[in-house]
Amino acid sequence: MKHLVKYILQFIILVCSVLLGGFYPQSAHAELKKVHFLIPGGAGGGWDSTARGVGQALANSKLVKRVSYQNMSGGGGGRAIANLINTARRHQNTLMINSTPFIIRSLQKIFTYTFQDLTPIAAVISDYGVLAVSRNSKLASWSDTLDQFHKDPTQLAIGGGSGRGSLDHLVVAQIFQMAGADPKEIRYIPYDAGGKAMAGLLSGETQVLSTGLGEALEQHRAGQIRILAITSEKRSPAIPNVPTFTELGYPAVFLNWRGFFGPPNISEKKVNMYNQILEKMFKTAEWESIRKRNGWQNQHIAGQKFQEFLKQQEIQVAQLMRSLDFLK
């Protein structure tokens, strides 16, 4: 089973690597008047920071004249998806941020919609997973955490900014499974977005946090939390002193994409325009500053290439979830 999980994870990373880069159709120079960003979760999470980071870079580099934001929590992101579909005519200038959980929750039938009910615009960044503890935690390392789990899994509450069986739960489950533990014994505490999950860790409600590097980096740098390990193949330049799970003997490699979707049936011309603007944004100093601050990796997969990527990931993630008994 360990070898199956490792193979699937490596295949997912391979597909990401093959499709990484600026695949977008060439078109004439375009400048957008406005973009409204719809964020399917609360403040402080990965969706929120990515949408606002992209919006800030677009506005500050004068690629878009006006940006606005709307946080719409509920249903693990399902409320925002349904809203964008049902009010499509009024949201022609809206981009909704989403990520791997869109695929996961659709597979679990939590959502009645899939990415094919919207217009995939582009993936923009990728973010590795991390496990973190509070600064005063007695858990000094991943080894300590694993020992505590083996002693009594009920006394190790692990929080995440997504529902049971979703991304943060999936990542921590495959890490523990590779360590020879039973993922079903994990005491997972779900929160509505990463900001609330971080608050749960800092308050002592949970002992470990499963989240993205970008969501944990600021608190780690400030000394409020300690990142124990990361799901990258090599150490991240953003946290060079933090080991990877791979070097600790558990080859858990997982990369979470984040990207944008438009309402159903927007024109190919508009999709191309969005991607031309995004491609220009990637080259700006404003974006590079935001990207580095959050520890993100650039991952521009545009238009039709993004749609093909999503179809492939749907198959691969389903295989991974079945191997962990998260999907029947």
Q: d(Cα 103, Cα 144) in Å, to the nearest integer? A: 33
Residues 118 and 260 in one domain: yes
Closest Cα partner for 57 from 224, 292, 222, 269? 292
Residues 117 and 147 in one domain: no
Beta bridge partners of 257: 126
**What residues have CB less than 8 Å from 226, skipping those under 6 apart?**
132, 133, 134, 135, 137, 220
Residue at 67: amino acid letter? V
Q: 183, 212, 230 — which closes off a domain?
A: 230
**β pairing state of 187-190 and 157-160:** parallel
Residues 210 and 147 in one domain: yes
Rg for the chain, CA atoms, rounded:
19
Q: In this predicted model, what pLDDT tens digit does every residue of 141-188 receive, in sequence order?
A: 999 999 999 999 999 999 988 777 788 888 898 899 888 888 888 999
Report the CATH number that the domain containing residue 64 is assigned in CATH. 3.40.190.150
- How many domains, in total, are found in the chain? 2
**6 falls within a domain:** no
- The Cβ of residue 15 has, within 10 Å, a number of other Cβ atoms equal to 17
**267 falls within a domain:** yes
Q: d(Cα 58, Cα 271) in Å, to the nearest integer? A: 16
Residues 205 and 112 in one domain: no
Residues 204 and 267 in one domain: no
Residues 288 and 303 in one domain: yes
Structure-token pair, residue 59: 């506005």
Stated length of the chain: 328
pLDDT of residue 2: 53
**3 falls within a domain:** no
**169 falls within a domain:** yes
Q: d(Cα 175, Cα 320) in Å, to the nearest integer? A: 12
Residues 96 and 132 in one domain: no
Report the CATH number that the domain containing residue 204 is assigned in CATH. 3.40.190.10
Residue 295 in contact with residue 214, Cβ under 8 Å?
yes
CA angle 87, 192, 176 (to 5 degrees): 125
Residues 53 and 193 in one domain: no
Residues 111 and 30 in one domain: yes
**225 falls within a domain:** yes
Residues 272 and 196 in one domain: no
Could you list the residue range(s) of the whole structural domain that residue 306 is in? 19-127+256-323
Q: What is the pLDDT along the chain (328 residues), one digit of tens a residue?
A: 555 455 455 545 444 544 444 444 443 344 788 999 999 988 877 899 999 999 999 999 999 999 999 999 888 788 999 999 999 888 889 999 999 888 988 888 888 888 999 999 999 998 899 999 999 999 999 999 999 999 999 999 999 887 777 888 888 988 998 888 888 889 999 887 778 889 999 999 999 999 989 889 889 999 999 999 999 888 998 899 999 999 999 888 888 899 999 999 999 999 999 999 999 999 999 999 999 888 888 989 998 999 999 998 899 888 888 877 888 7
Residue 211 in contact with residue 41, Cβ under 8 Å?
no
Residues 99 and 137 in one domain: no
Q: 185, 214, 230 — which closes off a domain?
A: 230
**7 falls within a domain:** no
**238 falls within a domain:** no
Q: What is this structure's pTM?
A: 0.76
Residue 68 in contact with residue 100, Cβ under 8 Å?
no
Structure-token pair, residue 60: 């500050």
pLDDT of residue 12: 52
What's the helix, strand, coil split of the chain in %, to 5? 45, 20, 30
**75 falls within a domain:** yes
Q: What DSSP designation does 45 have?
A: S
Residues 137 and 91 in one domain: no
Q: 215, 230, 245 — which closes off a domain?
A: 230
